[in-house]
Structure 1
Amino acid sequence: MFACLHMNLKEHLHLHVFHKILLVVVDIITIAIVVLSILNTRFLWHFIPLSLMFFGPFLHLFAVMTMTVITWFIAGAFGTLERKGNPVRDLCVWYFLLLVALYLVPLFIKSPCILEGKHLTSKPRLIGHKGAEHIAPENTMASFERAVDDCEVYGIESDIRISSDGEHFCMHDDTLERTTNVQEIFPERTSTLVEWFTFTDLKSLNTGSWFLERDPFGTVAELTDEQRTLYQEQTVPKLTELLDLASEHQINVLFDLRPPPEGHPYQVNFVEYTKEKLIEYGLEETEMDFMKAPNGPHYVVFIKKFDDRKLENVYNDVTFQSIRNASIAFMALNKSLFS
């Protein structure tokens, strides 16, 4: 910026040759970073207006502070220049035009940060990512129930896999090491892919104690004795248990359907098999949507039977294929919601 001021005043910068080379290198690197960032974040472009709604007022304050600081340097430059002449006049014109534009910006900012409460729109619709994973063990019935009871979610997101005997169950990781006590029950199968277990074996595992022991989000201290006892009793839930909960509370269900590994009995037709099981459960084919994830072999499945209205706008507005992970379209529950 100051270099531009010098150029406008027709003053020589007197840069050393190494300074010139460094400036060229920095410009090239900066342009490359900007181009790569644009290419790698195209799927987030439609979030930019939403981000500006929140950060616009803060960006404006930063710009005002910056202009205030620059004013001192410009005023100092004026003191060393003749009061007449095109360079000084041009500098004044551009500076004051920028200043006027900056002070007019708030007239065009539409942000909830500067709106009165009566003008605010409805609060965002929340999806419980793995239930309420910050205050309960992820992908357990306790987590799903706390998301419904404590957070008033409009839907629940989970990860669904198929066991070796054909049961759909909730589990995020490829193996059981992180969220179960598989080391104690099946020490020789610690690194075995989760789909190679029968559901009977999976049901024998504990999926809640790890949360109490590791306290991944620093929320265990806030739990009651009843909640601690409940978490210690958690096991791997079936997909049908999640659907029962959704039906009872009239909320929606969104899940990532993970493909079984090579050689698995349901590896070839896992999508068709899942549709058949959902129809057996009582869903119509028109009440479920299967969408191929753009960044992997899994499918994003949206169950819209229980409450079409609550997620209708979200579902229509978000193009799942245009983003890397459908879950990014929804707000994960976090600790701040419960404080």
Structure 2
Amino acid sequence: MAVLSWPTALHFFRMNKKRQVVVLALYLSVLFSLYLVPLGMYSPCIKEAGTLGPAPTLIGHRGAPMLAPENTLMSFEKAVESGGGGLETDVTIYDGVPFLMHDSTLRRTTNVAEVFPNRTHLDAAMFTWAEIQQLNAGSWFLLRDPFGTASSLSETDRSQAQNQSVPSLAQFLEVAAASGKLVLFDLRRPPYGHPYRRSYINATLQVIQAHINSSQVLWLPSEDRALVSGLDPALQQTSGLKASIQELKDDGISWLNLHYSTMSQQQIKLQSVNISTNLYVISQPWLYALAWCAGAQSITTNSVHILSSINQPLFLMQTPEEYTLMWILTDFVSAFLIFAIFTFHWRERGLPFVSGSRHTNDNGPYSKFRTLSDVWSISSVNVRPDLRSSPSSPSGPHLPTITEE
């Protein structure tokens, strides 16, 4: 605001009194508003000393999709190697074998158009496991380079990515079990007419119980939650919907899986009643810092390899008192600079008003801003007689040459 004060002051002293009053009132109103705005701002990183919790656990969103094709074993292994504390995926099923696939079709992340050209429009759940195993799930990553990171891969990684296939849920769980990582997945219900439309939950639970400790699994599907909880009480029931603390406790919810836009101080309150919060999808360090300050216990991210190297929030941690003091001091310094700028211009300008008309100090910096009306207002001018306009002049009237006496 102090920088904008210079041109404001520059033109302020060239206005008449009425305009000066209007401009000054408007300027001071805006200035006062800007001074007060920071004092009313909220940031989760404005905290009392010692209240910052531990860094959120990093859950790899479909693995490490910046380093390998999403939802492949290579992607999950890269997430583990990069320091991820959990793995997130999406599960679908056809002939009793749950497998990993996010999209409803296979077109984006496999070469289904080459292997089954007449079935590219079909739901992924309409392919048998034997057919799924025929597909390549990695070559698309090198061709499309979704995150602009494929060129940074080593030749070994590029070769490995090129030959990835669609993994089964069992293969995925084995990676998580071997590394002791949390598992978060969404389970897609098969379409009407599917042989496992009614039994897909039981088929999925059987695979979980056979390949991993159920306590490592954050069970996100909301359908038949009470039945699932009864069949496997060790599962960590996870909800994707916000609700009151009492409702969450009544439903046996131990985790909330929410979009990062819902971030608030409520995460800290939920933690006090043993309900943890996972925020998705956070891949930028600054957003990760906010989630950390807000008290999130974990985040789903595309960039485990980047966020795992951050040891503290990027923002300066301050107490509310320190933050308020900082802005009050900033306001005082700004007000002093603005006052100094206007004072400087007033002194250089000289007397801004004399009998209602403007007078310019020829030695001041404003002399070069004179207008044509200022020139015509000079009380005495000399006009060369031979250049005076004449009605009979064939070339028409001439503009006078004006010289000051």
Q: Gaps (5+ residues) in structure 1?
A: 1-63, 294-302, 309-314
Alignment check: 8 A CA contact 1:287 1:304 kept: no
Alignment check: 8 A CA contact 2:67 2:150 kept: yes
SS of residue paired to 2:91: strand
> Are 1:142 and 2:81 matched, yes or no?
no
1:235 matched residue in structure 2: 165
SS of residue paired to 1:81: helix
Q: Gaps (5+ residues) in structure 2?
A: 224-231, 238-252, 263-277, 283-298, 310-405
Tell me the C-alpha RMSD between the 2 structures: 4.6
For 1:230 and 1:105, how far apart are their aligned partners in 2?
Answer: 53
Letter in structure 1 aligned against 2:142: L
Letter in structure 2 aligned against 1:200: A
SS of residue paired to 1:126: strand
2:92 matched residue in structure 1: 161
Percent identical pairs in the alignment equals 37
Alignment check: 8 A CA contact 2:183 2:218 kept: no
Letter in structure 2 aligned against 1:263: G
Cα offsets for 1:164-185 (capped at 9, x unmatched): x111111112222221122332
2:17 matched residue in structure 1: 80
More helix by share: 1
> Are 1:225 and 2:162 matched, yes or no?
no
For 1:105 and 1:317, how far apart are their aligned partners in 2?
Answer: 35
2:240 matched residue in structure 1: none
Alignment check: 8 A CA contact 2:71 2:100 kept: yes
Instruction: Give the structure with higher Rg (CA).
Output: 2
Residues 160, 90 of structure 1: CA spacing in aligned structure 2 closer, same or farther, 3 A cutoff? same
TM-score in terms of structure 1 length: 0.58
Alignment check: 8 A CA contact 2:86 2:184 kept: yes
For 1:326 and 1:113, how far apart are their aligned partners in 2?
Answer: 17
Residues 225, 187 of structure 1: CA spacing in aligned structure 2 closer, same or farther, 3 A cutoff? same
What is the aligned residue count?
A: 253
TM-score in terms of structure 2 length: 0.50
Cα offsets for 1:38-93 (capped at 9, x unmatched): xxxxxxxxxxxxxxxxxxxxxxxxxx47974895599469752299xxxx59965x
Q: Which has the bigger relative contact order, CA under 8 A and spacing at least 6?
A: 2
Alignment of 1:1-339 (within 5 A): 64=1, 68=5, 71-72=8-9, 75=12, 79-81=16-18, 88=21, 92=25, 96=28, 99=31, 102-103=34-35, 122-150=54-82, 152-163=83-94, 165-281=95-211, 283-284=213-214, 288-292=218-222, 318=256, 320=258, 327-328=280-281, 330-334=299-303, 337=306
Alignment check: 8 A CA contact 2:63 2:76 kept: yes
SS of residue paired to 2:301: coil
